[in-house]
A and B are shown apart, each in its own frame.
Chain A
Amino acid sequence: DVQMTQSPSSLSASVGDRVTITCRASQDIYNYLNWYQQKPGKAPKLLIYDASTLVTGVPSRFSGSGSGTDFTLTISSLQPEDIATYYCQQYDNLPPITFGQGTRLEIK
């Protein structure tokens, strides 16, 4: 199985900050990497697919980059509504499809 490791596990930042979350795969997954946002009591929401393609309707302050084993989700200017847990997910080597353990983002 491809192991997905996110860092940090939790993060506290101020409104307006640039925030970066990293996801590392245990082997090369090319660009088969997606990012999700999950708010309490809700299902995850797809933000970015194929490492860098923004889903229609997702604010442009969200961006994704990377390929191979190292990937990044960036929020260019943190907004209060961005408080959530973020997950990465790979789909190169399956089954199984695997997720990172999540990064909890809080407001400082």
Chain B
Amino acid sequence: QVQLQESGPGLLRPSETLSLTCSISGGSFSTYYWSWIRQTPRKKLEWIGYTYISGNTHYNPSLKNRVTMSLDTSNNRFSLKLTSVTAADTAVYYCARHLGVIIAFDYWGQGALVTVSS
């Protein structure tokens, strides 16, 4: 059974950098695309970006200048960095696996709440 688990700080100050890691177990890591998605307090879902082992990475243009995603193939993990956070970045952050070449998210982590507050 594939399992995803997000980890990282839950509270940030404005202008700090958000760093989250998604650990994958129970399945192949290198043959899938992996995404980060966030859900705001108003329940809006926003796709942040996806990455693949080949280096094929796409980010949401609305966040592109602040986002970096990377893969740690040795440890079956991938990470998200979002710089210069503001209160608008407060959300539950999910990592998710793509359903093969179809961009549908078939496995999700439980979510990590990140709050940005001074």
B residues bordering A, Cβ < 8 Å? 35, 43-47, 49-50, 58-62, 94, 96, 99, 102-106, 108-111
Please, which residues of chain B bring their CB within 8 A of the CB of A46?
A: 99, 104-106
Interface string of A88-108 (1 = CB under 8 A from B): 010100111111011000000
Q: A43-B110, A46-B99, A96-B61 are in contact. Are A34 and B47 (CB under 8 A)?
A: no
Q: How close is A25's CB to chain B, nearest CB, in angstroms?
A: 15
* B interface secondary structure, majority: strand
Contact between chains at B102 and A44 (CB < 8 Å):
no
Please, which residues of chain A bring their CB within 8 A of the CB of B106?
A: 46, 55
**Interface bin, chain A:** 20 to 34
Candidate in B49, B61, B105, B110 with the most chain A CB atoms within 10 angstroms:
B105
Interface string of A1-31 (1 = CB under 8 A from B): 1000000000000000000000000000000
